[in-house]
Amino acid sequence: MKGVILAGGKGTRLDPLTRITNKHLLPIYDRPMVTYAIEALVNAGVTELMLVTGGTHAGEFFRLLGDGHAYGIDRLFYAYQEEEGGIAEALGLAERFVRGERAVVMLADNVFGGPLRPFVENFERQERGARILLARLEEEEHLRHLGVAVLGEDRRVTEIVEKPASPPSRFAVTGLYGYDPQVWEVVAALEPSARGELEITDVNNWYVGRGDMAADVVEGFWGDAGESIDAYYAVNDHVRANGANRS
């Protein structure tokens, strides 16, 4: 099992903090944001990682992480995204690194209170297809700004709606995904969305349409520190008080 951490993007929702650095290098409590994603995957047993980033501050990740050994990583690779082409395009840069294996993909601005090992183990047992981690949210206004999933039998996802005016469920799609080797064909066939990017929701809905998208629901805290300034500080407050990636 390979791990891919996506740490690109301009981080405009955290402006002006991101005028001087990549958002994933901003501090969460006492250390850079990206290290929480690394810790989460390493604790889950995923120790071969590729970090995908871009922009003018890409070199700072190498200065921070080096070969990754200090963070429990066995092998750490880097990829550079030339343009702002979307999450799915960034994922496509990891194809040669993954080389036909399954991949666990994590957005580096997602922070979880508990362990990710149950998700990884469930995905390993899955015969084929993809898997996503969901979070149950009660605030309808919050759900309107996220991807929202509908669950059917056996925790199979039957629909994912992006930023719905009327959310069809309370299950938000977090930034943790598991994909089988079919994903590279899916990414290669994608067409840019209206905003000119390759969308990860289109990748996920390809699996949904074939009945091959399973899901788990996170227990405990989940926060997207890149969602807004308020969300960024809410994640900071939670981690300072409760920690993150606790077993």
Mean per-residue pLDDT of the chain: 95
Q: How far apart are CA 46 and CA 116, in angstroms?
A: 10
Domain range 2-242, CATH architecture: Alpha-Beta Complex (3.90)
Q: How far apart are CA 60 and CA 63, in angstroms?
A: 5
Residues 119-124, mean pLDDT to the nearest whole number: 98
Q: How far apart are CA 180 and CA 124, in angstroms?
A: 10
Comparing 11-25, 35-49, 102-116, 229-243, the range with the smallest average pLDDT is: 11-25
Give which of 112, 113, 108, 142 is closest to 11, Cα–Cα.
108
Residue 129 pLDDT class (50, 70, 90 cuts): very high
Q: How far apart are CA 242 and CA 222, in angstroms?
A: 12
DSSP assignment letter at 66? T
Q: Quick one: pLDDT at residue 84? A: 80
pTM confidence score: 0.95
Q: How far apart are CA 182 and CA 102, in angstroms?
A: 9
Collapsing DSSP states into helix, strand and coil, what is residue 1?
Answer: coil
Q: Quick one: pLDDT at residue 202? A: 94
pLDDT digits (tens, 9 = 90+) for 187-197: 999 999 988 89
Return the domain boundaries, the chain. 2-242
Q: How far apart are CA 84 and CA 10, in angstroms?
A: 8
pLDDT digits (tens, 9 = 90+) for 161-171: 999 999 999 99
